Amino acid sequence: YAENCEFNRVEMGDTKIGVITSSTSYQYVKEVFGENACILKLGMVNPLPEKLILDFASKVDKLVIVEELDPIIENHCKELGLTVTGKDVLPMEGEFSQNLIAEKLGVPVPAHKNLGEALPGRPPVMCAGCPHRGMFFTLAKNKCTVLGDIGCYTLGAVAPLGAMEMTLCMGASISAIHGFNKALGKESEGKTVAVIGDSTFMHSGMTGLANIAYNQSNSTVVILDNSITGMTGHQQNPTTGYNIKGDPAGKIDLESLCRSMGFNRVVVVDPYDLDACDKAVKEELAADEPSVIISRRPCALLKYVKHNPPLKVEEKNCIGCKSCMRLGCPAISIKNGKAVIDETLCVGCGVCQQLCKFDALQS
């Protein structure tokens, strides 16, 4: 199979030099040599396609192996009896770059030029219409101590929301809140929440939740259910009803799962509804038993999600109070003291409308 693997690719160019490479190093090699070298890009490196490598080597005058870290491909090529250039000129440690490869292999490098002006900082933000924004705004508004987890919702820690005090590793938010509330008691209870995405919850959050129910810490966990694994590229998870290939599969019901673990208080809210979020957070934090809030709305980037028309700003009503800016939505900005909505980004979620007391944001 390795010899005919579709992920192995030969790109012929100048036969004076042939480069065998894989992964990110291929991009560097391609930028450095272009059509001035033959390139064998290995998509499958174990087992290596020995016949393909020998055939490629027979067509070039000089053979170079470009791979980061240990010389795995290089050593194998030497075992095949090939004379190669590799770690004798390229470093064993660190990341490669276009300039490094060009310098070590004697390829002219264009003169370095500095940018005329420094580019402004562009910190990462949640997408326009992100369903997590409304819940994080609510948690910040209620001055909750938020124990975060790993996912695109970790951006809830970034200004202006600033609604996350800790993020450690996948599943740690739930384990941490149990420890916080057991150790601190009334000093922590009613003020602290754990937030975790549906995918991360399925990966490593269930054991922590079972621990809360079994050992009875008065903890509130918010499961941010956006119906997909958002951060890493929209992979399916056990709560979506589809497997990783997109084929129908068993679907885990989060509410039933939480109740089966022993949670009597499980409430589902739409994060686009700020009043519902506020009510749920206040009630569950005030409860004298463990509780789960499921903040449910599909990721705004899912293809099947239908959006409303973008909102418009009624300038005569806008007083420039910047209440809408507190959401950190990339579709909203301020120009000449007035709110401006980028119609190419706005999905018409209406969350900002709920903050405007002057009816300046209109559908």
What does the block give as tokens for 239? Answer: 């709560």
Domain borders along the chain are 2-104, 132-296, 312-362
Write down the pLDDT at residue 2: 78
In 10 A of CB 318, how many CB atoms? Answer: 20
Percent of the chain at pLDDT > 70 equals 98
Look at residue 332 and tell me whether its pLDDT is greater than 90.
Answer: yes
The class level of CATH for 132-296 reads alpha beta
Look at residue 334 and tell me whether its pLDDT is greater than 90.
Answer: yes
In this predicted model, what pLDDT tens digit does every residue of 108-135 receive, in sequence order? 876 666 667 777 778 889 999 999 999 9
In this predicted model, what pLDDT tens digit does every residue of 159-189 receive, in sequence order? 999 999 999 999 999 999 999 999 999 889 8
In this predicted model, what pLDDT tens digit does every residue of 252-309 receive, in sequence order? 999 999 999 999 999 999 999 999 999 999 999 999 999 999 999 999 999 999 999 9
Least confident piece of the model among 84-88, 271-275, 329-333: 84-88
User: What's the rounded Cα separation, in Å, for the pair 130 and 224?
Assistant: 11
Look at residue 34 and tell me whether its pLDDT is greater than 90.
Answer: no
CATH architecture of 312-362: 2-Layer Sandwich (3.30)
Contacts of 180 by beta carbon, 8 Å cutoff, 6+ apart: 145, 147, 188, 192
CB contact at 8 A, 307 and 347: yes
User: What's the rounded Cα separation, in Å, for the pair 163 and 152?
Assistant: 14
Look at residue 50 and tell me whether its pLDDT is greater than 80.
Answer: yes
The class level of CATH for 2-104 reads alpha beta
What are φ and ψ of residue 80, in 5° steps?
-85, 0
Q: Do domains 2-104 and 312-362 have the same CATH topology?
A: no
Look at residue 239 and tell me whether its pLDDT is greater than 80.
Answer: yes
Q: Of 219, 163, 160, 156, which is closest to residue 191 (Cα–Cα)?
A: 219
What does the block give as tokens for 278? Answer: 């506020």
Write down the pLDDT at residue 46: 86
User: What's the rounded Cα separation, in Å, for the pair 165 and 178?
Assistant: 15
CB contact at 8 A, 10 and 57: no
What does the block give as tokens for 288? Answer: 């004298």
What does the block give as tokens for 82? Answer: 């090939």
Percent of the chain at pLDDT > 90 equals 81
Look at residue 231 and tell me whether its pLDDT is greater than 90.
Answer: no
- Higher-pLDDT residue of 66 and 120 is 66
Average pLDDT over the chain, rounded to an integer: 93
